[in-house]
Amino acid sequence: MKEFPYIRVHGSPHERGKRIGEKASNYIIHNIETYKKIFLEMGNVSWSEARKFAEQYIQSIAEYDQEILDEIIGISKGSGQHLLDIMALNTRSEILLNSDGCTSMAVVPKGAKKRETLLAQNWDWNPEINPGVILLEIDQAPRPNILMATEAGIVGKIGLNGEGVGVCLNLLGAKHHTRGVPIHVILRGILNSRSVSQAIGQIARAERGTAANFLIADGEGSAFNVESTGADFDVLFPEEGILCHTNHFTSNRMNVVDTGRVKFPDTYLRLCRSRELLNDRTEKVNTEDIKHILADHHGYPDSICRHGNTVPTDLGRIAASNTVFSIVMNLSSKSLEITYGEPCSAEYVSYSLDERCGNKEKTIS
């Protein structure tokens, strides 16, 4: 059974980053080399162009949160890679503009069998990145400790923190862009938050580098979709205890030219299917139900469980990606389960911020 490497770090922002860089250096190098190819193939962007583009975001990250920038600098030092290489990883969504497609969902206590808050996602992207994904636990007192799945070298992604706040990500497409804070940095801001209100504030307080939906929830039973462009956002609420999202805007309030619905025409099917499977249940939802939905192949290969690279793209089928990992978080117990690859064939492995669950056995020291 394949598992992602598990790394635990602590210390000051620079010290944490340096330790991440040292422990994950091989995975970071893999990601740099992989994105050199992806940028060129998908966006006709050379790595030197990507580095110059990424450099422009340093100031905005510093103004957003100096500690996050210090950690990025530490990752550069620890891995022995140039700061602009690490910056290119952290701005990769802004460089490619809305590249990966995903399906996410939340179930609040009203809809959950054990009255827990469940947050889940299939993260769909180029499968060549699989060897560069890590599970990262960060002790950053006095800020909340974090457990997240991320691409090595990137400071924020999908996960939860010690306050029970969790986040999933769906990239969206918008015609107009701003030069704002990279969305992976905003994801880290969300994971640094002690409440969902603070998490929403982490999105609202900055212009954002690209459009995205942040599905945010907490162990107390709150869940929100925050659909955002560079300069605007809207907050959507659960219906009958559930929230689902894919890769198009669903808000009626935002005035946006949605380019994601063109790039990801399967986004409608995946959203409809996930809502249908959750709503059609005669009993309340548990984690096994969510895993079953995340493994669904209706609309294969561009289904909730994606195998898009198995079939060449064609007219009307633009984006092709595979499910890199499937993650199910229990925010009430501050734990998660994650697969290496598609959930239809890979086993879920359990992790927790509670040391009694045995994380130490999986730690790279």
pLDDT tens, residue by residue, 218-267: 999 999 999 999 989 999 999 999 999 999 999 999 889 988 888 889 99
Residue 129 maps to a domain: yes
Please tell me the predicted confidence (pLDDT) of residue 64.
Answer: 98
- Which tops the pLDDT comparison, 320 or 70? 70
pTM confidence score:
0.95
pLDDT tens, residue by residue, 278-318: 998 889 999 999 999 999 999 999 999 999 888 877 767 66
Looking only at the bridges linking them, the beta strands covering 133-139 and 6-10 are parallel
∠ Cα 31 177 317 (to 5°): 65
Contact 26, 5 (CB under 8 A): no
Looking from the CA of 346 toward its CB, the CA atoms found within 13 Å total 22
Residue 93 maps to a domain: no
CATH code of the domain containing 193 = 3.60.60.10
d(CA 356, CA 365): 18
Mean pLDDT of 326-336: 98
Please tell me the predicted confidence (pLDDT) of residue 99.
Answer: 66
Please tell me the predicted confidence (pLDDT) of residue 359.
Answer: 44
Please say if the pLDDT value at position 25 is more than 90. yes
Residue 350, strand partner residues: 337
d(CA 87, CA 71): 11
Domain count for the chain: 1
Please say if the pLDDT value at position 196 is more than 60. yes
The rounded Cα 146 to chain-centroid distance in angstroms is 14
d(CA 248, CA 264): 8
Please tell me the predicted confidence (pLDDT) of residue 98.
Answer: 61
Please say if the pLDDT value at position 365 is more than 80. no
Residue 114 maps to a domain: yes
d(CA 266, CA 248): 10
Per-residue tokens: 112: 């959950």
Residue 63 maps to a domain: no
pLDDT tens, residue by residue, 136-154: 999 999 999 999 999 999 9
Please tell me the predicted confidence (pLDDT) of residue 313.
Answer: 75
Please say if the pLDDT value at position 358 is more than 60. no
The 3-class secondary structure across 258-281, one letter per residue, is ECHHHHCCCHHHHHHHHHHHHHCC
Domain residues for the domain of 195 are: 98-353
pLDDT tens, residue by residue, 36-72: 999 999 999 999 999 999 999 999 999 999 999 999 9
Mean pLDDT of 317-325: 84
Residue 176 maps to a domain: yes
d(CA 21, CA 91): 17
Residue 164 maps to a domain: yes
Please tell me the predicted confidence (pLDDT) of residue 39.
Answer: 96
d(CA 82, CA 326): 31
Residue 364 maps to a domain: no
- β-sheet with 223-228: strand ranges across: 233-236, 223-228, 212-218, 165-171, 158-161, 146-151, 133-139, 6-10, 363-364
- Over the chain, what is the mean pLDDT? 93
> 77 pLDDT band (50/70/90 cuts)?
very high
Share of the chain above pLDDT 90, in %: 84
* Amino acid in the structure at residue 280: D
Residue 70 maps to a domain: no
Please tell me the predicted confidence (pLDDT) of residue 354.
Answer: 64
Please say if the pLDDT value at position 340 is more than 50. yes
